[in-house]
Amino acid sequence: MQPTPQEPVEKPNFWRAHFASPKEIVGGLFWLTGFVMLCFALLQTYKEVRYKIDGATAEGLVTKLVTSDGEDGKTYNVEYRFDTPLGQVDGSCEVPLELWNTLQVNALVRVQYRAHDPSSSRLQDQQNYWRLIAIAAPLGALFFAIGTFMSR
C-alpha cells in the first residue's frame, strides 16, 4: 500500500487575523469611543456620589483670583482657604466667568469638601457634572452597542 500524498498545510499567519474590513474598523472606533465615554461617566458619577455621601460645607475666604490662557481659551480659577475639623485647608477650583466677575479677594464663599479628604473641595453648587453624565452615559452606551454589533 502506498502512502497517500498529503497536501501542504499552510502555516498560520499571525498578521492575517488582524486585517479587518472597513466595517470592523469603524465598529472598533465606535466601541472604543463608547467605552471611553462610559468610563468618563462612571468616574464622574463616582465623584459626585462621593460628594453626596461624604460631603461637608464650610465658609471659605477667597485668597486669590487667577486667570490663565490655555489651548481651550481663558480659564478662571478661584483660590480659597477654609476651616475643617482637621485644620485649615487651601483649595482652588475653576469657575465660570460670570461667577469669577462677582468674586473679590477676601470675599466669603461656601465651600463643599469631602469630610475624610478636605483637599478635595470645590465651591458649593459649582462643577456639578450630573448634566454631563446624563449625556455621556447613554451616548457612550449607544456607541458601545453599535461598535459591538458592527465589529462582529
**Exposure pattern of 105-136 as b/e (b: 16+ CB <10 Å)?**
eeeebebbbbeeebebbbbbebeebeeebeeb
3-class state of residue 4 by DSSP: coil
pLDDT at 102 over 70: yes
Q: What is the per-residue pLDDT for 14? A: 58
Q: Given CATH 2.40.50, say whether it is the number of domain 21-150.
A: yes
Q: What is the pLDDT of residues 64-101, one digit of tens each?
A: 999 988 788 899 999 999 999 989 999 999 888 888 89
When pLDDT is cut at 50, 70 and 90, the band that residue 51 belongs to is confident
Question: In the chain, what are the domain boundaries?
Answer: 21-150
Report the distance separating Cα 129 and Cα 47, nearest Å.
9
When pLDDT is cut at 50, 70 and 90, the band that residue 106 belongs to is very high
CB atoms under 10 Å from CB of 36, counted, come to 14
Entry pTM = 0.68
pLDDT at 13 over 90: no
The sheet that has 108-114: what strands, in order across it?
Answer: 87-95, 73-84, 55-70, 108-114, 117-123
User: What are the residue ranges of helices labelled H in the chain?
Assistant: 22-54, 97-102, 130-150
What kind and span of H or E run contains 123? strand 117-123
Q: Which is more confident, 59 or 12?
A: 59
